[in-house]
Structure 1
């Protein structure tokens, strides 16, 4: 089982041929309200990729979106016994998706901003899991507290990009940024150089490169480049979350790095073929079929 300590948002998604520039108004093609949030997305990705479930730790508001967010996690097989309800709004993400599958996102934390750190009950769930997945849509103090208290490997998706405290990096086993986040952390725009810089901070790193695949390295000396799976993208919003969730599952199953990375890359490719975030996560059967 994989534990996820993170955010749950309701995504308000506008689909448009071309995203507006600053000060510009464009006519959209369609609109959807879709459960999301990087934490919830990774929980659904892990649950579907494993077939054995995942546990989500976080908070939603007592508004109309809260029950919908809970239901989306439960429907995917995620344990929501540690999902708290707090007064006020749930997290919200305003997302614009263009016809090339690109997106821009504004996140309003809502209930996510009330999370202060894992409780003893949360830590019991984490201790029974194979890994803990973290992102940066919760307050940094809460993320640091969860990482430092975890007794299992910690996988960090450093998004949205921001300065990472040393005490967080000291507790991370594997970091999984995209190339823009890796550049923001290291100051290196070349993925190879950024990878080496990340390995000075954490034991293992994967940098996802979109249509160019991903690169992986470890302090033990392993270096891998994994090509992306060719696919016509419809919505790339949650590709990174699909990758992280599936990668955590593959590692928990003891797969060697090349196989684990191919599994994760395939999950990410399948996710971008469908609109939405959590709703786009592929099942274990879909991933296995695509790998045959």
Structure 2
């Protein structure tokens, strides 16, 4: 059975490859520190389940220190000559989008078709993580298609993966760290504290105020956490369930769905969501690293206002 471990090993090997290439590149500044960062990150994926929790914790602290002290560096990419680039673009044309389009198509196909292969005792794809496993499988197929389409070797694909990872830098850590932080906040009782503050200082007996409080809190906490999935359990436990559901009788399904959309509005307006807002600015080499956030903020504010009214009219 192809399980989630397949994805962990795949990601770990890419990170380990990046570490090796960094270490071997004598022209790259701070190559030992950068190689240590990518190597530690790779080991977390490859053998993290077999290491003591304390060791993994120390490795995470080391990653944070290396990133915080600016130890990461990027190699100077070797670009194709303009003539070669134009020739390649002319030959491939619009087919260049094929590998990217294969990812969603194969993911859906794997979920709907390959996910059904097997019986009660055996499955081709892990049913507990079917979507993620399907996505990983789709990425492998898309990578093979990209190599075939561009007539490049998998080695060149690995070099390009290293270049993209270095462009993203420490931001690749944020999704995991922020999701973990959300779990810690929830277990620490932050949701209960939010409930006490809300019921003490806001007039949540009024339905519209209660709805606006929940929606805005989802957006603001997402801006702090950088992840709507991390904010959702905290704000829903503190405001959604006790106020909207228990007090005003909101439909839980509608509240949860629109509440997540409110969180996504916050995602558009925060640098903490680095994988959405900071990484694109870095990859596009924009002079203003917050240019993406500035462009998205007006839309995010309008969407948040619309979500407040949708929640008010549809959830009750």
Into which bin does the TM-score normalised by the smaller protein fall? Answer: under 0.3
Structure 1 length normalisation: TM-score? 0.25
Does 1 or 2 have the higher relative contact order (CA < 8 Å, sep 6+)? 1
Structure 2 length normalisation: TM-score? 0.24
Is the strand fraction higher in 1 or 2?
1
Is the helix fraction higher in 1 or 2?
2
If you compute each CA radius of gyration, which structure gives the higher value, 1 or 2?
2
